[in-house]
């Protein structure tokens, strides 16, 4: 029991006979703080003045009001009070009804046995103490649960880190009826300039929370001076005896990190803060600090994600600038190219280069993997390729492939990557095309001069292994002569291995495990091409494929050479 429960309990005795009142008073005055009333009306007035009492002993037969009727009037306002009836009459029905309804604890007949009455009163006092203790525990539990739920709700409804801090401050400020509640975030060991405050009304003087600042700084200094941090509440009273303010400071620490310092200011002295209040404040602060830590981590993650997105946007622009922005315009030849990475940056690339001797070089490559690693190899491959193509004498495609493999081999092997690529050299005068294929998709060749029913694409099938697989790359070159009306097309597997929606599955040839869709493949791509073969537009074709794609999982690149 705490001190309050061990103090004298209040007792009210009500009887219209003064002798009985005196006897009862003398019997219990040493153990209880006893109030006397000669009528039910006077007893109600005493209760109005002094509040709840632990025990009421009332005579049953009184001129103005029966004892059970009087006691029934006290039930709603003082449900925990223990009620005892004294009666000299055997009015069994009234007493049974009163006991059954919970209005009376016991009844004792007059004249009473002194020892029996004292035993009943002691039992009543113990019952009252137990009831009050359990009621107080329940009240504390309900208050704690209510406050925790309020803090949880405020946290859940917060949109970001700043709104969460504001919600926590307002919830705690209102819950503890404070004049001012403020939260001082800590950034890199220093007080942040961002102070989140709750003020109970608009006319709180500004100097009400100013005295708190020195103590907040001292908390920060004490925390910095310790090796493992601490969790402790600091309190002090500011002002004069007529207008005191009680300040409570609690550091909000997560593990060993000081995240913020909470300050709550109440009018009055520190007696306004009960042990229950301080314990509850510390408990709910532990809950709040976890949410603050998570919100701070989320905010940091969001900032990092935004920074990464910004950097990737710059990287995408740089990578896009690495590709040819303008394509050569030669008489009798039309060249088109387009590339769309699956992520911000990708591993696909194309190259169109006109050699000073007149040869037109075409290339489409695909670095294994996606994202930044593939993009870095893509940039390296383009750089080496352009250096190889810029030789004084236009080289052979297989020689360029061998040099690329030799230069990039160590880096590709060490990172478990490889590059597939088709490299073609076209002579506009002789219209001869020579190509080398390092594990890439077969190039397509078709002619518009053939009747519609007889158009069949030619797949150029000479092919070797990808770059970065063997120390020495070697594969036979392929060749073809392009006549007017012929189209030579290169693409990456991101175009043919795409999973398409139902409305375009008429073009698909292979089932896909992704969302029960269908895979386009080269045969399906050719069906799609036939609709635009007389007026080939690669960007429009790629846009059509992308619009029907369930999810772009790989970079998509196409390059075409048309002989007019």
Tokens standing for residue 204: 């709180």
| Candidate ranges 12-16, 129-133, 314-318; pick with highest mean pLDDT | 12-16
DSSP lists the bridge partners of residue 421 as 365, 438
Q: For 27-53, give one letter per residue: b (16+ CB within 10 A) or e.
A: bbeeebebbbbbbbeebbeebeeeeeb
At 268, list the tokens.
């009055």
Most trustworthy range by pLDDT among 92-101, 248-257, 365-374, 423-432: 423-432
Q: What is the largest CA-CA distance in the chain?
A: 138
pLDDT exceeds 60 at position 5: no
Give Cα 134 distance to the centre of its chain.
39
Provide the pLDDT confidence category of residue 523 given band limits of 50, 70 and 90.
confident
Instruction: Give buried/exposed letters for 406-424 (b at 16+ CB in 10 A, else e).
Output: ebbbeebeeeebbbbbbbb
Please determine, for residue 98, whether its predicted confidence score (pLDDT) is greater than 90: no
Q: What is the pTM of this model?
A: 0.59
CB 499 within 8 A of CB 518: yes
Q: Band the pLDDT of 334: cuts 50, 70, 90.
A: very high
The band of 243, judged by pLDDT with boundaries at 50, 70 and 90, is low
Our separate counts of H helices and E strands in the chain read 14, 24
Higher pLDDT residue, 533 or 286? 286
Interacting residues of 4 by C-beta distance below 8 A, sequence separation 6+: none
Q: What is the mean pLDDT of residues 260-286?
A: 81
The pLDDT, as a whole number, for residue 4 is 42
For residue 2, name the pLDDT band (cuts at 50, 70, 90): very low
Q: What is the pLDDT of residue 210?
A: 54
CA within 13 Å, CB half, 102: 7
pLDDT, average across residues 322-334: 91
pLDDT for 189: 80
Give the tens place of pLDDT for each residue, 133-144: 888 888 878 888
Q: By the 8 A CB rule, do 85 and 68 touch? A: yes
Backbone torsions φ then ψ of 186, nearest 5 degrees:
-110, 125
pLDDT at 234: 61
Model confidence at 251, in pLDDT bands (50, 70, 90)?
Answer: confident
- Res 241 pLDDT > 50: no
**Secondary structure (3-state) at 110:** coil
Question: How many residues comprise the chain?
Answer: 564
| Lowest mean pLDDT, pick from 86-100, 171-185, 425-439 | 86-100
With 80 as the cut, is the pLDDT of residue 400 above it?
Answer: yes
By CB atoms closer than 10 A (0-12, 13-18, 19+), residue 330 is: middle
Task: Name the pairing type of β-strands 190-191 and 180-187.
Answer: antiparallel
434, 429, 318: which is closest to 382 by C-alpha? 318
In this structure, which long-range contacts are made by residues 113-120, counting pairs with CB atoms below 8 Å and at least 24 apart in sequence?
Answer: 114/27, 117/27, 118/27, 120/84
Pick the range with the lowest mean pLDDT from 1-15, 68-82, 223-237, 517-531: 223-237
Interval 129-184: pLDDT, tens: 999 888 888 887 888 888 888 888 877 787 788 888 888 888 888 888 888 888 88
Q: In whole angstroms, how far apart are CA 7 and each of 4, 13, 32, 37, 222?
A: 5, 19, 9, 23, 40
Confidence of residue 224 (pLDDT cuts 50, 70, 90): low
As a whole number, mean pLDDT of residues 194-217 equals: 68
* DSSP state, residue 236: E
- Contact status, residue 40 vs residue 65, Cβ threshold 8 Å: yes
Contact criterion met (CB below 8 Å) for 465 and 401: no
**By percentage, how much of the chain surpasses pLDDT 90?**
39
3-state helix, strand, coil in the chain (%, to 5): 40, 25, 35
Rounded Cα–Cα distance for residues 362 and 306 (Å): 37
Average pLDDT, the chain: 84
């Amino acid at each position: 029991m705490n001190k309050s429960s061990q103090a004298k309990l209040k007792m009210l005795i009500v009887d219209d006979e003064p002798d009985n009142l005196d006897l009862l008073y003398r019997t219990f005055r040493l153990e209880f703080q006893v109030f006397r009333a000669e009528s039910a009306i006077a007893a109600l007035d005493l209760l109005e003045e002094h509040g709840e009492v632990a025990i009421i002993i009332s005579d049953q037969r009184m001129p103005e009001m029966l004892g059970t009727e009087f006691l029934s009037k006290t039930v709603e306002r003082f449900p925990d009070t223990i009620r005892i009836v004294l009666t000299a009459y055997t009015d069994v029905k009234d007493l049974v009804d009163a006991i059954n309804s919970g209005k009376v604890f016991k009844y004792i007949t007059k004249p009473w046995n002194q020892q029996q009455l004292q035993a009943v009163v002691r039992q009543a006092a113990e019952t009252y103490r137990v009831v009050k203790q359990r009621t107080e525990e329940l009240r504390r539990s309900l208050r704690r649960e209510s406050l925790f739920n309020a803090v949880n709700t405020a946290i859940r409804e917060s949109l970001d880190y700043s709104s969460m801090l504001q919600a926590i401050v307002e919830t705690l400020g209102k819950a503890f009826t404070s004049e001012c509640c403020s939260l001082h975030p800590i950034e890199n060991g220093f007080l942040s300039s961002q102070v989140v405050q709750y003020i109970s009304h608009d006319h709180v003087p500004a100097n009400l929370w100013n005295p708190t600042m020195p103590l907040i700084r001292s908390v920060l200094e004490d925390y910095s001076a310790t090796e493992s941090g601490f969790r402790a509440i600091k309190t002090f009273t500011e002002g004069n005896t007529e207008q005191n303010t009680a300040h409570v400071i609690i550091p909000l620490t997560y593990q060993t990190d000081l995240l913020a310092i909470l300050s709550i200011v109440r009018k009055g002295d520190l007696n306004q803060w009960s042990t229950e209040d301080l314990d509850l404040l510390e408990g709910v602060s532990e809950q709040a600090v976890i949410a603050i830590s998570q919100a701070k981590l989320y905010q940091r993650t969001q900032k990092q994600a935004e920074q990464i997105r910004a950097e990737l946007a710059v990287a995408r622009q740089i990578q896009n600038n690495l590709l040819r922005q303008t394509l050569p315009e030669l008489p009798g030849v039309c060249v088109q190219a387009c590339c769309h990475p699956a992520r911000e940056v990708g591993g696909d690339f194309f190259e169109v280069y006109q050699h000073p001797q007149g040869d037109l070089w075409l290339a489409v490559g695909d670095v294994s993997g996606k994202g930044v690693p593939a993009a870095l190899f893509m940039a390296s491959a383009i750089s080496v390729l352009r250096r190889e193509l810029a030789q004084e004498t236009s080289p052979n495609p297989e020689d360029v492939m061998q040099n690329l493999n030799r230069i990039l081999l160590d880096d590709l092997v060490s990172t478990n990557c490889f590059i597939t690529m088709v490299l073609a050299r076209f002579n506009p005068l002789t219209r001869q095309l020579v190509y080398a294929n390092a594990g890439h998709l077969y190039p397509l060749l078709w002619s518009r001069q053939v009747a519609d029913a007889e158009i069949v694409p030619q797949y150029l099938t000479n092919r070797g292994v990808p770059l970065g697989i063997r120390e020495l790359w070697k594969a036979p070159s392929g060749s073809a002569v392009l006549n007017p009306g012929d189209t030579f097309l290169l693409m990456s597997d991101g175009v043919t291995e795409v999973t398409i929606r139902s409305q375009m599955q008429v073009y698909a040839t292979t089932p896909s495990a992704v969302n029960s869709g269908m895979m386009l493949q080269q045969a399906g791509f050719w069906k799609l091409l036939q609709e635009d073969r007389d007026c080939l537009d690669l960007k429009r074709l790629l846009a059509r494929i992308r619009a029907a794609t369930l999810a772009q999982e790989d970079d998509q690149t196409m390059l075409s050479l048309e002989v007019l």
